[in-house]
Amino acid sequence: MKINLLDKDLTPNPKKGLHIFWKSAIALAVIAPLFLIQTTFLKGNFNPFLKIGAALQSFEFENITEWVSQIGKLIRSDDKLLEGEKDGRINFLLLGMGGAGHDGAYLTDTMILASFNPKEKKIAMVSIPRDLAIPMPGYGWRKINNVNAFAEAEKRGSGGEATREAVSEVLDIPIHYYIRADFQGFETLVDKLGGVSVYVDKSFTDNQYPTDDEKYQTLHFEEGWQNMDGARALEFVRSRHGTNGEASDFARSRRQQKILAALKDKILSFSTLFNPIKIQSIFDMVKNSIDTNMEMWEIVRMSRMVRDINTGEIIHQVLTADEGGLLVATNLDGAYVLEPRSGDFSEIQFLVKNIFNVASEISPEEKPKMIRVEIQNGTKKTGLAGRTAEMLTKLDYRVVKVSNAAEQNYEKTVIYDLTEGKKNNELNFLKEKLDADISLSLPSWFQSSITPSEVTIFPPASEEKNNSIDFLIILGKNAIF
């Protein structure tokens, strides 16, 4: 008989029974959901596989005592270590595919390497573009999203493991676990959680979002905090043709990682952990949406280790072909592909292997926290402000305006602090990054709000007020990009 979490008769000793019940429920609530957050990018009606489904189906007991006993055995599996735990790093491959009824049903639509450092309690995520070309035995050079499809064509259900092995070889690191789910599961999860809150970095419109009847619809997202239900969140992570710099797969990958963080926060919130209806709904979805090589005890152990990690400290990286990125765009037999700029995978391997060390060069206190900056070109170097804006955007700064300075004879970059010294850590980081001087007094032309007629402003001046920025950056001749 399957346990009904809402049946009051299941707790003969109200005080002790409820105490044990809630501790067990909380532990269970963290098991699958924490990993469900990693599966937000799949689409279609994915026919589920067996690992987690079979494990959860086995939780059918005659009474609450037996149920608590079995859960207790899982929770007390401290004598076992996860793969990679002894070495100080556990790697997961998070995959997404269309599924039956969709074009390219088994092409992986999204791929993320998620790594956990159990000693330092750190998580890092690296988004791998689906168009990355890799060598595939028997097939030559193909896009990495083909691995799953080729394996599924040969043997049903083998795609996850085949992709795990292929990515492990390309990155030259052990990948211990893989997780796969569908878009339907993601949408359902978000709805069961009551939606998620996500900060949209900049407004954008997508006029080519595909509909189920092979037509298009227009989407629009406003900058700022947005509450999204499952359908809206799905649109946010799938949109590929947005304006304002949101038209690339790289931008989409960044949005996907935002949703990951939002889901983690919602799943581990008080309103979820202490809501048995949500818990039971989440478990039902897990049984029907996920394929993984993780055993149940591994999920329990992993969830316990990561549940207290601050979402704001998760390290995010996206492999891109942007200026300064590790990839370049080219074509292979007429198809658009991405390949390493170095000619091999050595740079990418270095980044992945040292993801925690590279990211730790900037401490959490120094990382920008929605810092708003205005960038002006104080030289006659064309495009200097734009390139600087792109660089700072990748570092999660909010660039509210890019323009030319009233005077273009600056020898050295100057940062004007408008926070009255309230954000010194961020200011010092920018100072070192841009090799800049710091000034507490604004230029007279800026104080009088006179904008030079030749200035090109983005976004329009009416959308941003001078007092809404933290730092004014005027680039000098020493700025090189």
Q: CATH fold of 372-475, please?
A: Alpha-Beta Plaits (3.30.70)
Residue with tokens 């799953």, as numbered in its chain: 148
Cβ atoms within 10 Å of 209's Cβ, excluding its own:
17
pLDDT of residue 61: 41
User: Considering Cα of 299, then 288, then 155, then 171, what sign does the dihedral take?
Assistant: negative
pLDDT at 167 over 70: yes
pLDDT at 50 over 50: no
Residue 464's pLDDT band (cuts 50, 70, 90)? very low
pLDDT of residue 11: 39
Q: In angstroms, rounded to a whole number, what is the distance separating the alpha carbons of residues 459 and 469?
A: 13
pLDDT of residue 431: 86
pLDDT of residue 269: 67
* One-letter amino acid of 299: I
Q: Which residue has the higher pLDDT, 198 or 465?
A: 198
Q: In angstroms, rounded to a whole number, what is the distance separating the alpha carbons of residues 178 and 320?
A: 23
Q: In angstroms, rounded to a whole number, what is the distance separating the alpha carbons of residues 418 and 472?
A: 7
Q: Which residue has the higher pLDDT, 357 or 169?
A: 169
Percent of the chain with pLDDT over 70: 69
Beta strands in 118-270 (DSSP E): 122-127, 133-136, 140-143, 177-181, 196-200, 204-210, 216-221, 224-228
CATH 3.30.70.2390 domain span(s) along the chain: 372-475
* One-letter amino acid of 263: L
Q: Which of 15-29, 212-226, 313-327, 464-478 has the lowest mean pLDDT?
A: 15-29
Q: In angstroms, rounded to a whole number, what is the distance separating the alpha carbons of residues 201 and 392?
A: 13
Nearest CA to 230 out of 267, 259, 204, 202 is that of 259
Beta strands in 363-444 (DSSP E): 372-377, 398-404, 414-417, 437-439
Q: Which of 144-148, 234-238, 285-289, 407-411 has the lowest mean pLDDT?
A: 285-289
Q: How many residues does the chain have?
A: 481
pLDDT at 103 over 50: yes
Q: Which residue has the higher pLDDT, 274 or 219?
A: 219
Q: What are the CB-based long-range contacts (under 8 Å, 24+) for 407-412? A: 407/378, 407/443, 408/377, 408/378, 408/379, 408/380, 409/378, 409/379, 410/378, 410/379, 410/474, 410/475, 410/476, 410/477, 411/476, 411/477, 411/478, 412/436, 412/437, 412/476, 412/477, 412/478
pLDDT of residue 368: 44
Q: In angstroms, rounded to a whole number, what is the distance separating the alpha carbons of residues 341 and 347?
A: 9
Residue 295's pLDDT band (cuts 50, 70, 90)? confident
pLDDT per residue as tens digits for the range 253-280 = 888 878 877 887 777 665 666 666 766 6
Residues 375 and 401: beta-carbon distance below 8 Å: yes
Residues 437 and 383: beta-carbon distance below 8 Å: no
pLDDT of residue 476: 93
Nearest CA to 243 out of 259, 221, 215, 217 is that of 221
Q: Which of 44-53, 222-231, 286-295 has the lowest mean pLDDT?
A: 44-53
Residues 132 and 327: beta-carbon distance below 8 Å: yes
Residues 20 and 68: beta-carbon distance below 8 Å: yes
pLDDT at 421 over 70: yes
What is the arithmetic mean of pLDDT over 163-174?
Answer: 97
Highest mean pLDDT among 235-239, 336-340, 444-448 belongs to 336-340
Residue 419's pLDDT band (cuts 50, 70, 90)? confident
Highest mean pLDDT among 58-72, 75-89, 445-459 belongs to 75-89
Q: Average pLDDT of the chain?
A: 75
CATH 3.40.630.190 domain span(s) along the chain: 90-359
What is the arithmetic mean of pLDDT over 154-166?
Answer: 94
Quick one: tokens of 114? 């998620």
pLDDT of residue 142: 94
Residue 286's pLDDT band (cuts 50, 70, 90)? low
Quick one: tokens of 176? 């211990």
Distance in angstroms between the alpha carbons of the first and the last residue of the chain: 66
Q: Give how far Cα 305 sits from Cα of 118, 121, 259, Å.
A: 7, 8, 21
Peptide bond into 48 cis (omega under 30): no
**In CATH, which superfamily holds the domain spanning 90-359?**
LCP protein (3.40.630.190)
What is the arithmetic mean of pLDDT over 404-415?
Answer: 91
Quick one: tokens of 278? 């949500």
Residues 273 and 296: beta-carbon distance below 8 Å: no
What is the arithmetic mean of pLDDT over 39-66?
Answer: 39
Residues 282 and 192: beta-carbon distance below 8 Å: yes
What is the arithmetic mean of pLDDT over 157-167?
Answer: 94
Nearest CA to 233 out of 199, 280, 195 is that of 195
pLDDT of residue 30: 39
Degrees to nearest 5, angle at CA 256 with 255 and 257: 90
pLDDT of residue 441: 74
Quick one: tokens of 147? 């691995």
Nearest CA to 278 out of 196, 197, 190, 192 is that of 192
Residue with tokens 């019940």, as numbered in its chain: 21
Q: Give how far Cα 457 sits from Cα of 123, 137, 181, 294, 321, Å.
A: 38, 51, 43, 51, 26
